[in-house]
Structure 1
Amino acid sequence: NDVSLLRLCSLPCPLFYWCYQSQFRCDHTCTGKCQDKPLTFRCSGGAQSPVNIVTRSVQRDEHLIPFKLTGYEKKLHGHLINNGHTIQMDLPSSLKIERGNLTVPYKALQFHLHWGKNGGPGSEHTIDGEQFPMEMHVVHIKEEYDCLSQAAKDGTGVAVLGFFFQVLLSEYLKFDPLIDALKNITYPTNRTTLRGVSLDMFLPSRDNLTKYFRYDGSLTTPNCSEGILPFYHNVTCLLSLLQLASFSQLRFSDGNHMVNTYRPVQPLNGRQVYYSRGHAVLISTVLLFMSTLLSSALSLHTQPL
């Protein structure tokens, strides 16, 4: 069982709480009469996420046509919450995705983010071994289901659109409403209202959303249900180093700074990664430039927590 990659602990017994490897306080085990009971969350299986996408090994799939996004342009008024291991915003079910080789429409459920420390490497997925500073997941489920736990029992019940972030030398002003809201959700269970924003504000232009990777994967947090359809776009979102570093000021449930909120990459175990129709896989040079740019920016601007 792959419990080492998402370290598991009990707080308190017999209720179980999971944490990231970066939370060193979360390394104790349950004591008392329930100590022999198995942990609730066992992250094992042959189709786990995230993975390292090796571009020389991907295969083109002509069925991976551009997505149809409905409602992504609409202004939202929703709650942004610190849930103890990331920030999350619930989305209205009127936001939907279709096509992209999906057989039915999927309604939006929520989006959340994974990041590093002060703008350092923090994405869950990597491409040719390169790790981005941040990764966004926009989680969708089939319209017939009411919640993620229901949809996760269906082999194709959940579809996740994934987006990588790169460092921009100047601030990306459209992201300011979310960045400004972070100061109101420093601690777990804190929530604030985010008004007048749309998903389109946070993502690359629609014209650039035709190039993406797809594979059979899982949720990256317990219980790590498999049968998830992740789609990862290779056109990146942009944030300044200062904006990215703002996320490191948040706090985990154990009181530590919320940094390195990603699960390490998992073995492919023979799975095939596909890329969309008309997609020219020319990302390695961009990633190399991003890595060099990030290293230079970090040496100039970051301060330790």
Structure 2
Amino acid sequence: LSLALCCKVVNLLLCFGPALWCYQGQFSCEETCRDPSHWVGQFPNCGGLRQSPINIVTGKAHVNSALTPLTFLGHNEPINITVDNIGTSAHFSLPQSVRLSGGALPGHYRAANFHFHWGHELSPGSEHTLNGERLPMEMHIVHIKEPYGSLAEAEHDVGGIALLSFLFEESADDHVHLDTVIEALGRVQGNEMVNFRLSDIVPSAAELHSYYRYVGSMTTPGCEQSVAWTVFQKSLPISSRQVPIVSKCRFWTGKPMVDNFRPTQPLDGRVVYKSNLGNPLLSFSPVCYVLLLAILYAFNLLQH
């Protein structure tokens, strides 16, 4: 069989039975897994109208003054975290002492984990794109709305999950503290990092007043549409030396873990908002928060 015909046969087989999902970079005729274009066959939510990631056209984002600075708890505290290879990414588990509120989010949230999406040495791999440009890497910090006890519970609430997105931009100098995380990726199974601080990787709260907000989904199956996304305008540095080292991690297939990102999804009528960049320290009445939430989630409510 030719390669093209072989792949068609594999795709037909996937239509008639369950299969593991994978990223496009993993898919081949030897691996019977569903690449992103076929996720919807097993996970219907992946074909929904509020999917992530998206391309953010910065000039079309609507300024919303209710998007005040977020409140971060536990970012400066030393914590012990475990790192696990889940087959498609490496998850860094976070303790419940790391919390998030403010920024017009509909409640208080506790952290669950952080993880990364990247490309490979010659190609960028962020999930969100800015004005059509894909950046080298993206970090997600996943938070669960209180009082939910797990992601599975939070996924049933339209605002049950708050995801913070940090985009990495290539720089001449290393991100000094990122080396510790990159090294952990190379020995990822059951590895523990002690005395780790999130503030070693992400900027201080004072530098995170500028961000984009939209309603979307998880970027992996089952693509649950229950996420309030915050994509920060400030990028994080990563050097050309550090980019290829990230791929020391391995997929469940044994292949190098590269290109572990989902392609951008249609906006489908959603509005992307941005914080009031001109004067982020202004305070607003609770009415503003209620108005923002009504706008952000009205589209979702219309779907039910």
TM-score, with normalisation over the residues of structure 1? 0.80
Match of 2:32 in 1: 28
Query: Which one has the bigger helix percentage?
Result: 2
Letter in 2 for 1:248: S
Q: Give the aligned partner of residue 264 of structure 1.
A: 263
Residue number in structure 2 paired with 1:222: 221
Residue in structure 1 matched with residue 287 of structure 2 by the alignment:
none
Query: Aligned equivalents of 2:245 and 2:259: distance in 1?
Result: 13
Residues 115 and 262 of structure 1 are in contact (CA less than 8 Å); yes or no, is this contact kept in structure 2? Answer: yes
Count matched residues: 262
Unaligned runs of 5+ in 1: 1-6, 31-37, 281-305
Task: Pick the aligned partner of 2:74 from 68, 71, 74.
Answer: 71
Report 1:236-275 matches (<5 A): 236-275=235-274
User: In angstroms, what is the RMSD of aligned CA positions?
Assistant: 2.3
The offset of 1:222, in angstroms, is 0.3
In structure 2, which of residues 54, 57, 68 is the aligned counterpart of residue 54 of structure 1?
A: 57
Cα offset, 1:183, TM superposition:
2.4
Secondary structure of the structure 2 residue equivalent to 1:194: strand
Q: Displacement of 1:260 after TM fit?
A: 0.6
In the alignment, is the contact (CA less than 8 A) between 1:71 and 1:96 conserved in 2? yes
Does the alignment pair 1:121 with 2:100?
no
Task: Confirm or deny: 8 A CA contact 1:148 1:158 kept in the other structure.
Answer: yes
Residue identity in the other structure for 2:43 = F
Are the counterparts in 1 of residues 66 and 104 from structure 2 also a CA contact under 8 Å?
yes
| 1:151–1:157 contact (8 Å) kept in structure 2 | yes
Q: Residues 246 and 29 (structure 1 numbering): CA distance in 2 closer, same or farther, change over 3 Å?
A: closer
1:206 aligns with 205
Q: How far does residue 91 in structure 1 lie from its aligned partner after superposition?
A: 0.6
The answer for the alignment partner of 1:180 in structure 2 is: 183
- SS of the residue 2:138 aligns to: strand
Percent identity between the two aligned chains: 37
Q: CA-to-partner distance for each residue in 1:62-82, whole Å, 9 max, x for gaps?
A: 110000100111111111111
Q: State the 1:15 CA deviation.
A: 5.5
The alignment partner of 1:223 has SS state of coil
Greater Cα offset, 13-22 or 87-96: 13-22
What does the per-residue CA deviation read over 1:73-122, in whole Å, with 9 as the maximum and x for residues that have no partner? 11111111111111111111111111100131111111010000026310
- Once the two structures are TM-superposed, the CA of residue 257 in structure 1 deviates from its matched residue by 1.2
- SS at 2:245 equivalent: helix
Structure 1 stretches of 4+ with a deviation exceeding 4 A read 7-11
Between the aligned partners of 2:246 and 2:87, the Cα distance in structure 1 is 13
Alignment TM-score, normalising by the size of structure 2: 0.81
Deviation, structure 1 residue 177: 1.6
State the Cα distance separating 1:191 from its structure 2 match.
2.2
Find the aligned partners of 1:8 and 1:227 in 2 and give their Cα distance.
29
Gaps of 5+ in 2: 1-9, 35-39, 280-304
Q: Is the 8 A contact 2:211 2:232 kept in 1?
A: yes
Partner of residue 41 from structure 1, selected from 36, 40, 43: 43
